[in-house]
Amino acid sequence: MRLNRSLGWWLTASLAMFLASCLEQYDPSKNNAKFAAEWKQSVQPAANLTETGEIPVTGGAKVIDADERYATICANCHGAKGYGDGAGGLALNPKPRNLHDKDWQARVDDAHIVKVITYGGQSVGLSASMSAWGSILSPEEVLALVKKIRVWGKE
Ligand code: HEC
């Protein structure tokens, strides 16, 4: 009898300890910091996704800077302000397009401009002097450039 009773106490005590240790493991406040760190690693904050909702290859936010891209790549021919008067375009025939040209702006849709920038002048029957920039510019950057060109069309 005595043995049984102490065995009973012992069992109850071990069970209580076992339950307590289980509860401790699932105590969220105890593990919050760890969970938070793991969560951060496994989930990309939405703010860092690209415009199309992809996780950026570099892991960071890709900054799309149409002004910088235009100044670096296009301004040499099309001119700093887009009037088609860049030094690199002076000797070209046909001349680089004046991107402010309202008639041209009205004639073409955005898809056409995207195509010219991405695949070059030849892709739409124009001069090959207007090269294809699709391997240098991301689709998002091309769209940002189209937006920039459209703003010029309204000036
Ligand atoms: C080496 C000079 C050169 C560079 C650099 C250049 N272009 Fe051009 N671009 C041209 C020429 C030349 C034409 C005119 C082609 C024609 O009329 O046959 C043209 C035409 C265009 C057109 C008008 C297409 C049409 O429908 O008439 C757009 C839009 C354009 N370029 C955008 C850009 C953008 C954006 C960049 C930079 C990413 C760029 N170009 C870089 C030379 C250049």
* Residue among 155, 19, 5 nearest 81 (CA): 155
Region 82-94: what's the mean pLDDT? 96
CA-CA-CA-CA dihedral for 67, 71, 72, 73, to nearest 10: 100
CA 34 to chain centre: 29
Q: What's the pLDDT tens digit per position in 43-53?
A: 555 656 777 77
**Ligand 1 — pocket residues by CB below 6 A?**
73-74, 76-78, 88-89, 92, 94, 96-97, 104, 108, 113, 116-117, 121, 126-127, 129-130, 133, 145, 149
Give the model's pLDDT for residue 2. 66
Q: Which of 97, 98, 133 to mutate to test the pocket of ligand 1 (most atoms within 8 A of CB)?
A: 97
Give the model's pLDDT for residue 10. 87
Q: What's the pLDDT tens digit per position in 8-47?
A: 888 888 888 888 877 776 666 666 666 666 665 565 556 5
Q: Is the dihedral of CA 138, 140, 144, 145 positive or negative?
A: positive
